[in-house]
């Protein structure tokens, strides 16, 4: 199967027509799916970040309220009125610290009281449910972020827990913590009497952030300067500023939420703003995770495409073979015909267009065979007629000269009528024996018929009347030679009987509206019965022009009519007709119709 074969081209076209739309659809679907997944993921994660922001704010508000609870403690209120001096107040301070540390979110609590007597402890640290008292000289300075005269707390972002300058007798493992610092004032005088610092582990924040995440996703909590408060990525050091490009882009943005994209992932952020913190909640979604569903869908589509390709290839091959096999069979028959075997039996049994083409080709070959046979038989008939004419032409010049001598002798004996009849007979013989013409104009046929009928009128004298109604528009139209005389002879052979009544013969022609010529010969002879007329018409209709032209011996009594009909059909390719009908009150009418073709021209 070469590249130029119809089967190869059909397979390629079918594969392209089938696979190209599918692949295009997959590409468009994949792009659309990715875009849809991306938009949906951004919307869903934006909603999640918004909810997480609310959860973080609520959690931090709880921690702020916990640090503010000292102002709600009755013992602390009483100490503010009575003062913090004396050993009795120290027990109240420890109880207050333990009350704050009861909350499970608290890692350690540090309280510094400035209003103490010399030699009394000023700093107290509760770690692992143990209160540590340092020497009276140890006092942690107030956190510089606390505004003087303000009750607002300050949040110190993630750092490693420490002992606030106290020398611990026992070792406690440090942890990453958030610290809330608050100044303590005597109410309502706003006298600064100390400070409170509460350390909180990151466990709860970690839980809140991990609620945002799926596989391979990351979460970050940053302060307003880009320092890391918390990250879900293991091994990242908290409290350091991240140097990733998206951090600076986010810090410079004025929107409270948004998205940032790079080559490998999408970063979605939500800004958290309260009086005590200005943080950024960030979620990183890798494209690998984001498009996992789309990628799996694409893989399934490619699997389906592979199966479909296999099926399409099989169907395409089957269709192409089924489509081209009849064509190859037809080409095989054509090759056989080229060798000269024109009667090959073409058997293509499909009912589609190829089958129709094969059947039409078979009909065409049958027609060609018929035409070849017809031309062969017609040529054989012409050769036979020419041979018979040659046999009949026994020195025609001798006959013409002899008739001319007889005519001259008749004139010498004062017999001009005899001379005229002999000249008419010579003219008839010259016309009938001239084999150089096969088609003649109607004018010559009429002249020949007049010569023949003139001799017949001389024979029957007053017993025969002849009439001519020839349309001048038809006299130049050609027809086979010796067409009219056999029709006239038919009357004298079978219909003329002068004993019954004088004979009448009418010859007429006219040009019909469709351009054909109608030639009629009618008489008042004995005519024919209905049965005889029907039988003769049937015999004329069933005759084979080529076979009868080659072998006229089997025609019997109707040889003249059949000869005329067959020669008309052979010369005019079955467009000429001959039919017989009764003539009222008696007689027979013979009508010929044939195309009006002038001599040497085409049909009018």
Residue 563's pLDDT is: 84
Q: How many CB atoms lie within 10 A of CB 298?
A: 18
pLDDT, tens digit, for every residue of 512-551?
999 899 999 999 988 888 898 888 888 888 765 554 544 5
| Chain Cα centroid distance, residue 159 | 67
Sign of the Cα pseudo-torsion (467, 471, 475, 480, in order): negative
pLDDT, tens digit, for every residue of 397-424?
566 666 767 777 777 777 777 777 777 8
Q: Exposure of 125 by Cβ count < 10 A (0-12 exposed, 13-18 middle, 19+ buried)?
A: buried
Q: Which residues contact 216 (CB under 8 A, 6 or more apart)?
A: 286, 288, 289
Fold of 213-290: Beta-Lactamase (3.30.450)
- Reduced to 3 states (helix: H, G, I; strand: E, B; else coil), residue 329 is helix
CATH superfamily of 73-204: PAS domain (3.30.450.20)
pTM for the model stands at 0.52
pLDDT, tens digit, for every residue of 360-384?
777 887 788 777 777 776 666 666 6
Nearest to 165 by CA among 187, 132, 193, 190: 132
Spans in the chain with pLDDT lower than 50: 391, 394, 547, 549-550, 552-557, 604
Q: Exposure of 178 by Cβ count < 10 A (0-12 exposed, 13-18 middle, 19+ buried)?
A: buried
Fold of 437-595: Heat Shock Protein 90 (3.30.565)
| Chain Cα centroid distance, residue 317 | 19
Q: How many CA atoms are closer than 13 Å to the CA of 289, on its beta-carbon side?
A: 14
Reading the block at residue 305, the tokens are: 């495409």
Quote the CA–CA distance of 52 and 270 in Å, as a whole number.
9
Quote the CA–CA distance of 160 and 130 in Å, as a whole number.
19
Q: How many CB atoms lie within 10 A of CB 521?
A: 20
Nearest to 130 by CA among 180, 168, 179: 168
């Amino acid at each position: 199967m070469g590249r130029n074969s119809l089967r190869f081209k059909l397979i390629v076209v079918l594969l392209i027509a089938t696979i190209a739309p599918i692949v295009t659809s997959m590409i468009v679907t994949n792009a659309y799916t990715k875009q849809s997944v991306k938009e949906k993921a951004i919307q869903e994660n934006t909603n999640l970040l918004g909810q997480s922001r609310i959860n973080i704010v609520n959690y931090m508000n709880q921690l702020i309220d916990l640090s503010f609870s000292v102002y709600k403690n009755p013992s602390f209120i009483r100490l503010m009125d009575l003062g913090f001096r004396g050993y009795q107040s120290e027990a109240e301070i420890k109880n207050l610290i333990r009350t704050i540390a009861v909350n499970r979110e608290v890692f350690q609590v540090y309280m510094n009281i400035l209003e103490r007597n010399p030699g009394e402890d000023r700093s107290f640290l509760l770690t692992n449910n143990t209160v540590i008292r340092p020497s009276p000289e140890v006092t942690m300075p107030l956190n510089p972020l606390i505004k003087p005269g303000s009750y607002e707390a300050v949040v110190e972002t993630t750092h490693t827990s420490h002992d606030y300058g106290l020398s611990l007798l026992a070792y406690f493992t440090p942890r990453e913590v958030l610290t809330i610092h608050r100044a303590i004032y005597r109410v309502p005088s706003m006298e600064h009497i100390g400070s409170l610092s509460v350390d909180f582990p990151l466990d709860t924040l970690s839980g809140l952030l991990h609620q945002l995440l799926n596989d391979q996703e990351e979460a970050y909590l940053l302060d307003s300067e880009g320092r890391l408060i918390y990250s879900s990525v293991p091994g990242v050091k908290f409290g350091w500023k991240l140097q990733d490009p998206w951090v600076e882009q986010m810090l410079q943005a004025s929107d409270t939420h948004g998205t940032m994209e790079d080559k490998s992932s999408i970063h979605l952020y939500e800004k958290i703003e309260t009086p005590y913190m200005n943080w950024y909640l960030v979620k990183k979604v890798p494209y690998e995770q984001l498009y996992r569903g789309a990628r799996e869908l694409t893989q399934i589509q490619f699997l389906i495409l592979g199966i479909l390709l296999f099926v399409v290839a099989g169907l395409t091959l089957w269709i192409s073979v089924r489509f081209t096999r009849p064509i190859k069979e037809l080409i095989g028959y054509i090759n056989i015909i080229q060798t000269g075997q024109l009667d090959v039996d073409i058997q293509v049994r499909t009912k589609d267009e190829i089958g129709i083409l094969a059947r039409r080709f078979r009909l065409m070959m049958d027609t060609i065979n018929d035409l070849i046979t017809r031309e062969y038989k017609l040529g054989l008939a012409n050769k036979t007629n020419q041979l018979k004419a040659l046999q009949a032409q026994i020195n025609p010049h001798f006959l013409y000269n002899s008739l001319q001598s007889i005519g001259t002798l008749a004139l010498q004996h004062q017999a001009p009528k005899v001379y005229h009849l002999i000249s008419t007979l010579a003219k008839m013989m010259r016309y009938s024996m001239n084999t150089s013409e096969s088609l003649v104009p109607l004018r010559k046929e009429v002249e020949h018929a007049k010569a023949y009928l003139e001799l017949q009128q001389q024979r029957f004298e007053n017993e025969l009347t002849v009439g001519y109604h020839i349309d001048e528009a038809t006299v130049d139209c050609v027809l086979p030679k010796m067409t009219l005389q056999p029709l006239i002879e038919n009357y004298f052979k079978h219909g003329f009987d002068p004993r019954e009544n004088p004979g009448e013969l009418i010859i007429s022609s006219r040009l019909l509206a469709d351009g054909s010529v109608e030639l009629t010969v009618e008489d008042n002879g004995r005519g024919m019965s209905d049965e005889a007329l029907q039988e003769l018409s049937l015999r004329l209709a069933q005759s084979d022009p080529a076979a009868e032209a080659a072998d006229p011996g089997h025609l019997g009594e109707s040889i003249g009519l059949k000869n005329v009909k067959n020669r008309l059909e052979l010369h005019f390719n079955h467009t000429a007709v001959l039919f017989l009908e009764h003539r009222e009150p008696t007689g027979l009418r013979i009508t010929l119709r044939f195309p009006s073709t002038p001599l040497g021209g085409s049909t009018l």
